[in-house]
Structure 1
């Protein structure tokens, strides 16, 4: 793909050069801030996520003040003002309402809203947007409209915006299709691993069934929820890993446990997920720590609870799916002798480690595809690549959600009312 032959310097940090026939305009010249407050009873609640603007999930944390939300109309651009939600923004395809921590902008008629969707979601603008914010600590860094309204961004002629959108829709769909194929491969590999585990821990599949006993979970271990830890103190780096309802959440300076343990997600979209952890770590109150008795080794416990598919026992709590510790402890299972547990765990380690390597390699391919998509979008919307004369063939449209298999954000709820 060729570059523009005639460019000009801008003296703007995040876009140092643009094509000479493009304009630089301030946000407040092209957008109107929508401030109208509405009730979620009249306008469907929407979530502002890193995948765009989506209907709010039923289990998302709800605000105590549901009558105090912002109106969003189809075509509005919505961006989360909090730095810990960096990248959570997009053009809404729906009418609805969002919480007050979001900025809602209505674009002028000279803008193609889909061009704006690509431009304002690219990583260069994201860095510029949050650079204009303020706050005491990184997780509470906030950018208000009054601080972003003078940010300059490039505006091509409308016909060129339309072509940029056609080109990017095509290329993004191609990449999303490949990502979707890779994600299906991962699901098949994970399914195969689960089947191997189930067969290994099934009493009826074994020859020496006399070594196996039918017991309730509470006879071979005890379980206890972890200790609450507010999200603001969980960092991207630190001394000890922090495990919550959906697995690893980040790192913290202290720990609650030291040794080899099984961690079960108690709350969240992935309630029932199982992790084997070793060393020092912090388990939050959204996770269950398994304390094995002398009749159960942690490595076998990991495979045992993975094979039991604990997610099927999750119930819908007020805000999100959850698991009852009492329910799990009263489930029945077949357990062999400790010697046989070690033998089975060794065999499963060997098989599952090989499958995990394949999964991790596939995830690396997905990451490279996502990086490629991000670079293409950024280069096109900032005028580094000229796509005006590139014909766009017929293609199958594949959006980000389809590529991700419909998966949403699996972050644990933060502060009620800030579910976006």
Structure 2
């Protein structure tokens, strides 16, 4: 078990009030300098990601970025440099470059003036971000961003343990975080497999029915193939009203207070219920009347930064009190003449043939979006109502244990992620002493990336 240091003293660090008694504090500007290297012809673009990885863009992904027409102000970056993203430092975009390359002028490229472990100080600046301290220095105009220029960074006091201790802290965290990351990776894979198993059950039931021997007929649509006799093909717009919400999380005077069901609520929950902790917002009378959620409404994500997260469904499973649908979402509300039960529609949106339709229609580069017409035109399968009811009951029974396993694994994953964050925080700020911990030889994940 890790133990605390024997003696502590009060610090003047606004984000960490105590440090080990033998540590000192020093201004960042006396420890680091800002480089401004020329770009070399062979340099590829380096990106500083919010998870602290700083690497060649081609090493992770090549899409979803805003490309510069001309690379004005780009600067040389060398392996081992401490990189701070001026605008996204508040969100953790701080790390050590694992490659030589070039970066946008929005990066502060820092090198040590003395004998300091850059990896330790990357941990420290990310800790400053995690505590909200960098965000408190907000000087920018973009929502949820900061302007953490080198001059601002340079004026901050940083803890200064002895160099051997810095090295030991980094070695210890490389070891422990590597072990935790292995567990997290395995747990994510397990959750992914469970979700695939759940989707396979739903997909089979809503596209082929429950009787494997049922006669099939041509659907009339080449890509859809054959469907059970007695089923028909229809358009979403024939069965459900489509309501696009423009209500955001901002609050305005002289508007009524509402609870806001937002993108995250839908993305993380199959069922929207009244006891959920909704965000508080305000709505005008016209907004309130148009996007007030009703029992049986199916809600889908219509905008997302990820193509995979388009048209994720949730269903309002009970009456809600004063809950409105938020921006980036669409409400699908059953028409009086509809031949589709809302719960069956929810399961249809989990089927691959519906998901693929929407993913192909999503427009965008850095952000993907579904317009009204794209939602309107979706092709659906419509079994008789008695079959829909039987399929709904069958799916609920078949996936019950799978859903329990998913919830259990997600809880375990969240706990381990929280433990990783807390462990890093405790070690780099001196709350626990790792100087005498024997660290085995471990693979350096920074090199593996």
**TM-score, normalised by the number of residues in structure 1:** 0.77
* Structure 2 counterpart of 1:213: 232
In our comparison, the structure showing a higher alpha carbon Rg is 2
Distance 1:151 1:309, change over 3 A: farther
Distance in 2 separating the partners of 1:274 and 1:125: 29
The answer to whether the 8 A contact 1:222-1:291 is kept is yes
Distance in 1 separating the partners of 2:97 and 2:258: 37
Distance in 1 separating the partners of 2:258 and 2:442: 46
Give secondary structure in 2 for the equivalent of 1:122. Answer: helix
* Structure 1 counterpart of 2:219: none
What aligned pairs does 1:221-232 form with structure 2 within 5 A after superposition?
221=240, 226-227=245-246
* Structure 1 counterpart of 2:385: 338
Distance 1:368 1:2, change over 3 A: same
The answer to whether the 8 A contact 2:79-2:97 is kept is yes
What aligned pairs does 1:20-419 form with structure 2 within 5 A after superposition?
20-34=21-35, 43-54=44-55, 55=57, 57-62=61-66, 66-68=70-72, 70-71=74-75, 72-82=77-87, 85-122=90-127, 126-134=131-139, 139=144, 141-203=146-208, 205-206=210-211, 209-215=228-234, 220-221=239-240, 226-227=245-246, 239-243=259-263, 247=267, 252-254=281-283, 257=291, 258-259=293-294, 260-265=297-302, 267-269=304-306, 270-278=308-316, 280-282=323-325, 284=327, 287=329, 289-293=331-335, 294-308=338-352, 310=354, 312=356, 314-315=359-360, 317-319=364-366, 332-395=379-442
Give secondary structure in 2 for the equivalent of 1:46. Answer: strand
Give secondary structure in 2 for the equivalent of 1:10. Answer: strand
Distance 1:360 1:345, change over 3 A: same
Distance in 1 separating the partners of 2:175 and 2:168: 11
The answer to whether the 8 A contact 2:108-2:149 is kept is yes
**TM-score, normalised by the number of residues in structure 2:** 0.73
Distance in 2 separating the partners of 1:250 and 1:69: 41
* Structure 1 counterpart of 2:12: 11
**Please, which runs of 5 or more residues in structure 2 have no aligned partner?**
215-227, 269-277
The answer to whether the 8 A contact 2:168-2:435 is kept is yes
In the TM superposition, residue 240 of structure 1 has moved relative to its aligned partner by 0.7
* Structure 2 counterpart of 1:414: none
In the TM superposition, residue 325 of structure 1 has moved relative to its aligned partner by 6.9
Question: Alignment RMSD, CA only?
Answer: 4.1
Deviates more, 1:55-64 or 1:189-198: 55-64
* Structure 2 counterpart of 1:411: none
Distance in 2 separating the partners of 1:308 and 1:79: 41
